[in-house]
Structure 1
Amino acid sequence: MNEKIESQLAALRDRIDELDRILVEILSERAYCALEIGKIKRSNDLAVYQPEREAAVLQHANSINEGPFDSEALERLFKRIIDETRGLEGNGKPIDSEKGTGSQK
């Protein structure tokens, strides 16, 4: 590989590393919100899993999606995020809605 290509790749990879850092910060902030939601739900005997809310979150994500992810890919990503944060709402253990069980970490 020549130096120009290596430089271009390095710059793009540095940008991805920075975006990953921001993404982790945002996911952590979202998780803290889920913890607070969980406290409210538990203190009011509300179910952790609320399918209508999950559907609304997925619909909202798709409504603001400008690509390059297609709707199905974006939905898979958000379902994974929702599964992990739902676990925090309930008991601090991630729950996999596809399996109906806690995930092993």
Structure 2
Amino acid sequence: MDISDWRQKIDELDEQIVRLISQRAEAAKAIGELKRISDLPVYEPHREQDVFNHVRAANPGPLADTEIQHVYERIIDVMRTLQRRDS
């Protein structure tokens, strides 16, 4: 494959990633609503650590575990903001 083929593949993968992130955001919004109703905090450090442990365990590479965790730190930060905004 040449560079344009790889770029097309990346574009297709990005579209899939955006759809999955949107689905994750819908789930986070639903959880945020349940937290609001139950008077639970948006920020749950133990749960976030569980997510990091899970994605590191599921990581096949080539990103190092610390790199995949950095990606998820940002995703979770955005989801936490979404939960606060919608509460």
TM-score range, shorter chain: over 0.9
Aligned partner of 1:50 in structure 2 is: 44
Instruction: Tell me how large the CA RMSD over aligned residues is.
Output: 1.0
Per-residue CA deviations over 1:28-72 (Å, capped at 9, x if unaligned) read: 110010000000000110000000000000000000111000011
Identity of aligned residues (%): 38
Question: How does the TM-score come out when normalised to structure 1?
Answer: 0.79
The count of corresponding residues between Structure 1 and Structure 2 is: 86
Aligned partner of 2:74 in structure 1 is: 80
CA distance in 1: counterparts of 2:60 and 2:12, whole angstroms: 21
The higher relative CO (CA closer than 8 Å, separation ≥ 6) is in 2
Question: How does the TM-score come out when normalised to structure 2?
Answer: 0.95
Secondary structure in 1 matching 2:29: helix
Is the counterpart of residue 69 in structure 1 residue 78 in structure 2? no
CA distance in 1: counterparts of 2:67 and 2:57, whole angstroms: 14
Considering only CA atoms, is the larger Rg found in Structure 1 or Structure 2?
1
Q: Which 4+ runs in 1 deviate beyond 2 A?
A: none
Task: Kindly provide the amino acid, as one letter, of the partner of residue 71 in structure 1.
Answer: D
Structure 2 unaligned spans of 5+: none
